[in-house]
Chains A and B, each alone.
Chain A
Amino acid sequence: MTRWILGSVAATALLTGAAIAKTDVTIGLQLEPPHLDPTSAAAGAIDQVLYANVFEGLMRFASDGSVVNGLAKDWDISEDGKTYTFTLHEGVKFHDGTDLDASDVVFSLDRARAEDSVNAQKALFANIDTVEAVDPTTVKVTLAAPQGSFLFNMAWGDAVIVAPESIDDIKSMPIGTGAFKFDDWKQGDSITLVRNPDYWGDAATLEKATFKFISEPTAAFGAMMAEDVDAFYSYPAPENLAQFEADPRFTVLAGNTEGETILAMNNKQPPFDNKLVRQAVSHAISRQAVIDGAMFGYGTPIGSHFAPHNPAYVDLTGNSDYDPEKAKALLAEAGLPDGFKTTLKLPPPSYARRGGEIIAAQLRDVGIETEISNLEWAQWLEQAFRGKDFGLTIVSHTEPMDIGIYARPDYYFQYDNAELQKLMADFDVEADGETRNQMLQTAQTIISEDYVNAYLFQLALTSVVNAKLQGIWADAPTQAIDLTGVSWSE
């Protein structure tokens, strides 16, 4: 009798398990968004939760980083490259039931580029001259000068389309056009999205998605092991990854990010104003030792400020091979045979704190003494970034395609090179894809051969995912967890 009951219980469990596939997902994230407006803060967590799920732009990033149409069904570029005419999809509704039309696009772009705009990436819109609504589904954007990266810029999370009706409450009640609607935010705990039944495109498979915020690495381990969360995006404790890999319940996704991790040098502060010294520092560092020691082997060495998975990438790691003897010789040539002393300011992420210790040891081997200070982000921004009070610092630049920062002489590492500035200005207005790629390659080579910074590695993205969950992006072409294509395999 008991056996029979147990047997039927097991059978029922099996049957219901097979019949009702799971339609909700819980994703662990280390950082919580400060608020829910992707157009007025730099916090990556805002885009991770909302980009492509709740908010959409005219264009969007696909999982491989290519730019595809979003709310724009079609677009057309004028002969002179200055006028972009976007045709919007018809029947697109915001989550509050109002229709999306051209005037919303005008509002969103004008808001982002306004005088008092607080858009963290305002530069994306700097080249826009006028934005007009031609008819309800046609928007004409006129640029001050041709700009090859305009469509790319329009795919950013900072360029999503918002509505004037809902803008006042956007920070706590985001109203977008995406396949998921914002449902609930338990501050400090979780954000819940639900499927948008009126979505204009292909409906999402998941009915509900919860993002759970777990900052402590040991808690992340517990939550994953107890299966409280179905996936942990950018898992914070790389030391546990081998254990997850060995467990059949989980899959470990190792992908690329747009994060060039660099040892930045203050190009205006002696002795780093001397190229020989910068070159010496670059040769003193073993990238592989940093990747193995600080990142548990995850990360791809880079030799310039450019992502290896981009088609325009050139491998320039050979310019700065690990060669301590050469580094010493270069220091001697620069008039510093006994080395020198400098500061190394480290922001909180583990790539900086762990990497910093290894780099300090490697620099000591060639005679460069570093005084390490561990800073919080706010302190780092104040001292190193704004105050330019540092000799060396380690930071990962996570924005996609950000080599343009080398053309800003007031940027924190203070690199001032007219040739590169001209090149990047030309690049901005160049529309031809092949020429653009060549220009990017030239730019990579210039900064690599000028040893502006020591280029360490491309930050890897490692996520732990339930083995039955499909469609989570392994790579991060932008800070996004696009759930529109995610489903359970049973």
Chain B
Amino acid sequence: MLRYAIKRLGSLVISLIVASLVIFACIEVIPGDPASFMLGINAQPDTVAALREELGLNASLSARYLSWVTGMMSGDFGTSYTYRTPVAEIIGERLWLSLPLALIALGLTVLVAFPVGILAATKRGSWADMSVMGATQLGIAVPNFWFAMLMVVLFAINLRWFSAGGFPGWENPAAALKALTLPAIALALPQASILARVMRSALLDTLSEDYIRTSRAKGLTRRQSLWRHALRNAMIPVLTIIGLQFSFLLAGAIIIENVFYLPGLGRLVFQAISQRDLIMVESVVFLLVFAVIMVNFAVDLAYAWVDPRLRGRA
């Protein structure tokens, strides 16, 4: 298990280095100058030059890459060109929204998908299975921003149960959770639909395996063999999907963040790109890559936990 973990860790570090190079190279070539963006169309050229100097944009590419990477190792992501505050601080604040939102959405996803998927698989072909398949098809097909808008019309404009959006901050946890409810549901709907279907098919696969018949033959009840053998083996594809979904929810909530005007990471990146706040874009993208790689690492470890064969293989 340890060797397996070390080997995974090695490939993780290499992935991070490559990612930092690719991100920096891709983002620095985008045309557009943060200084002229800040100063608008009435500014004089010498003013723009003064701002470029102040922002440190006149340094060479390699010097900027090195200072960015070495800074990040010590937790210093640099200073945002537009906001003029440390990037780490801004990202930290946004994470306080994006991370809980992703976790709540993922929690809802699992909470809905597991029972529904298991039910559909065990009652294969029944009306319950049919309706699960139909409902999840719909859940995947409905665009989540549209679903989000429908919820706003119903719960915020007509019933007035919720605000149409915004985030009051965590000083008041109840209000904060309430503000995240509709966005989390909107995010979870398609994810839960996908996960339920994956759960169902993975479970159907394992339920038809020989070892299930064997376990039944040695006297386990249907339920016992489901919980002890089938479900555990069905977890591999399910965990993979959950890992992907978490990374997606962390960064991919841009549209939902816009619909509910939430100050999350997705919106931060979106704004930073249009303002050419390159250092911000680079740092957020890198952080997301880091998160994806870490989640995959965790998923790899989880595979080894559910599948003992992987531990030896390394």
Known: A123-B42, A215-B261. A222 touches B165 (CB 8 A): yes
Report yes or no: B85 in contact with A172, Cβ–Cβ below 8 A: yes
Provide the bound-state CA to CA distance between A40 and B43, in Å.
10
Nearest-neighbour CB distance to chain B for A87, whole angstroms, equals 30
- Tell yes or no: B259 within 8 A of A by CB: yes
Contacting B37 at CB < 8 Å: which of A377, A395, A397? A377
Report yes or no: A42 in contact with B84, Cβ–Cβ below 8 A: no
- Interface SS, A side: loop
The size class of the interface chain A forms with chain B is 35 or more
- Tell yes or no: B103 within 8 A of A by CB: no
User: Which A residue sits closest to B159, measured CB to CB?
Assistant: A226
Provide the bound-state CA to CA distance between A37 and B274, in Å.
20
Provide the bound-state CA to CA distance between A117 and B51, in Å.
8
Report yes or no: B47 in contact with A117, Cβ–Cβ below 8 A: yes
Report yes or no: B164 in contact with A223, Cβ–Cβ below 8 A: yes
Residues from 33 to 76 in B contacting A, C-beta threshold 8 Å = 33-34, 36-44, 46-47, 50-51, 53-54
Residue from A42, A186, A188, A225 having most chain B Cβ neighbours under 10 A: A188
* Residues of A in contact with B (beta carbons under 8 Å apart): 32, 34-35, 40-43, 115-123, 171-172, 186-190, 212-216, 218-219, 222-223, 225-226, 228, 348, 376-379, 381-383, 385-386, 395, 397, 399, 402, 405, 412
**Which A-B residue pairs are the 7 nearest by beta carbons?**
A42-B40, A188-B263, A378-B32, A222-B164, A34-B82, A226-B164, A226-B156
Q: List 30 A-B contacts (CB under 8 A).
A: A34-B82, A35-B85, A42-B40, A43-B40, A119-B47, A122-B43, A123-B44, A171-B83, A186-B263, A188-B264, A189-B262, A216-B259, A219-B260, A222-B165, A223-B164, A223-B165, A223-B166, A226-B160, A228-B156, A228-B165, A376-B273, A377-B37, A377-B274, A378-B31, A378-B275, A382-B33, A382-B36, A386-B33, A395-B41, A399-B42
Residues in B whose Cβ lies below 8 Å from that of A115: 50
Q: Mark B254-277, 1 if CB is under 8 A from A, else 0.
A: 000011111110011001011110
Provide the bound-state CA to CA distance between A184 and B85, in Å.
15
Known: A188-B267, A378-B274. A215 touches B258 (CB 8 A): yes
Residues in B whose Cβ lies below 8 Å from that of A188: 93-94, 262-264, 267-268, 271
User: Which B residue sits closest to A188, measured CB to CB?
Assistant: B263
Residues in A whose Cβ lies below 8 Å from that of B54: 116, 118
* Residues of B in contact with A (beta carbons under 8 Å apart): 30-34, 36-44, 46-47, 50-51, 53-54, 82-85, 90, 93-94, 149, 152-153, 156-157, 160, 163-167, 169, 258-264, 267-268, 271, 273-276
User: Which A residue sits closest to B34, measured CB to CB?
Assistant: A378
Known: A116-B50, A382-B33, A382-B36. A35 touches B82 (CB 8 A): yes
Nearest-neighbour CB distance to chain B for A129, whole angstroms, equals 18
Residues in A whose Cβ lies below 8 Å from that of B37: 377-378, 381
Nearest-neighbour CB distance to chain A for B150, whole angstroms, equals 11
Known: A188-B264, A226-B160. A219 touches B165 (CB 8 A): yes
Known: A123-B42, A190-B166. A34 touches B274 (CB 8 A): no
Residues in A whose Cβ lies below 8 Å from that of B90: 187
Residues in A whose Cβ lies below 8 Å from that of B94: 187-188
Report yes or no: A216 in contact with B33, Cβ–Cβ below 8 A: no
Nearest-neighbour CB distance to chain B for A387, whole angstroms, equals 9
User: Which B residue sits closest to A121, measured CB to CB?
Assistant: B42
Report yes or no: B42 in contact with A120, Cβ–Cβ below 8 A: yes
Residues in A whose Cβ lies below 8 Å from that of B82: 34-35
User: Which B residue sits closest to A171, measured CB to CB?
Assistant: B84
Report yes or no: B149 in contact with A189, Cβ–Cβ below 8 A: no
Report yes or no: B43 in contact with A120, Cβ–Cβ below 8 A: yes
Residues in B whose Cβ lies below 8 Å from that of A214: 165, 261
Provide the bound-state CA to CA distance between A212 and B152, in Å.
17
Known: A117-B50, A118-B47, A222-B156. A42 touches B39 (CB 8 A): yes
Report yes or no: B164 in contact with A225, Cβ–Cβ below 8 A: yes
Report yes or no: B261 in contact with A212, Cβ–Cβ below 8 A: yes
Provide the bound-state CA to CA distance between A115 and B54, in Å.
13
Report yes or no: A118 in contact with B50, Cβ–Cβ below 8 A: yes
**Beyond known contacts A186-B169, A222-B153: 18 more, CB 8 A cutoff:** A41-B39, A118-B39, A118-B47, A118-B51, A120-B42, A123-B42, A187-B93, A188-B94, A188-B271, A216-B259, A218-B259, A222-B157, A226-B157, A378-B30, A378-B32, A382-B31, A385-B36, A399-B42
Nearest-neighbour CB distance to chain A for B89, whole angstroms, equals 9
Report yes or no: A382 in contact with B32, Cβ–Cβ below 8 A: yes
Residues in B whose Cβ lies below 8 Å from that of A171: 83-85
Known: A34-B275, A122-B47, A219-B260. A228 touches B32 (CB 8 A): no
